[in-house]
Amino acid sequence: MRGAGATWYTAVPTIHQIIIDRHTSKPEAEYPALRFIRSCSASLAPAIMEKLEAAFGAPVVEAYAMTEASHLMTSNPLPEDGARKAGSVGRAVGQEMAILDEEGRRVEAGKSGEVCVRGANVTSGYKGNPEANEAAFRFGWFHTGDIGVVDEEGYLRLVGRIKELINRGGEKISPIEVDSVLLGHPAIAQAVAFGVPDAKYGEEINCAVIPREGVSLGEEEVLAYCRRNLAAFKVPKKVYIADELPKTATGKIQRRIVAQHFVVPVLPTKA
């Protein structure tokens, strides 16, 4: 950052965690002066946010971005420009945003629906993929596939991906909500909840967590914490305590891959 003269940086939570681990093990006398730090792609644990701000002396702003919208879609403001809301990815930036129901109607503040955007920075379509265009561009909006809620002040809170909602006996559960609760545990550094097949309920909730460095953490402690902070039907059935989680090349965690890693049995190879 010093070599490039950077005044801010953006990263996914995994990278922020690596930076904090590096800071803890090999702190430097002085860090570059940054205006702010941005976090995207997944919920950032409050403990990591606090450590980043303490290490760099700069505010951390959570944001929401997609390639189809020329990246940035919403962001929490800098402290001098407005309030940062915990658990929110901020307000629309550079385009119009709406929460729509399945019929393309706007829903009122506080109600959930699909996050949709439109504007000059939003792509006009996917080249050579009419099926994807038909699914994503409806009612004059680009449909992100994310479920969200906007409050009275225009701050967006993401609830989950439509395709990732867990249907447990007819109850629709957002894995992002479970992630957020797990990340509130002081001993958890990273967490991801995911759905798995279940004979009784159709789907059941499992989760995988990485403890903070030097901290001992057991499955029952995590489950007890979830029982105190989640409705009973949202409490994971199984908790996997791990040293690492499978990630994409860019450091993102995909629930499907995590589920396959921890749950799907390895088939024996044929001789």
Helix ranges (DSSP H) in the chain: 13-25, 46-56, 130-136, 175-183, 219-229, 255-262
Q: Which fold has domain 165-262?
A: GMP Synthetase; Chain A, domain 3 (3.30.300)
Single pTM value for the model = 0.79
* HEC string for 78-96: CHHHCCCCCCCCEEECCCE
Domain ranges of the chain: 165-262
- Residue 262: the pLDDT is 92
Q: Do residues 61 and 75 lie in contact, with contact meaning Cβ atoms separated by under 8 Å? A: yes
Share of the chain above pLDDT 90, in %: 75
- Residue 264: the pLDDT is 62
- What digits encode the pLDDT tens for the residues 88-140? 999 999 899 999 999 999 999 999 999 999 999 999 999 999 999 999 999 99
- What digits encode the pLDDT tens for the residues 227-236? 999 999 999 9
Position 14 pLDDT exceeds 90: no
> Among 23, 76, 25, 20, which residue's Cα sits nearest to residue 48?
20
CB atoms within 10 A of CB 58: 20
Q: Do residues 98 and 106 lie in contact, with contact meaning Cβ atoms separated by under 8 Å? A: yes
Mean pLDDT of 43-64: 92
Mean pLDDT of 62-67: 94
Place of tokens 């010093």: 2
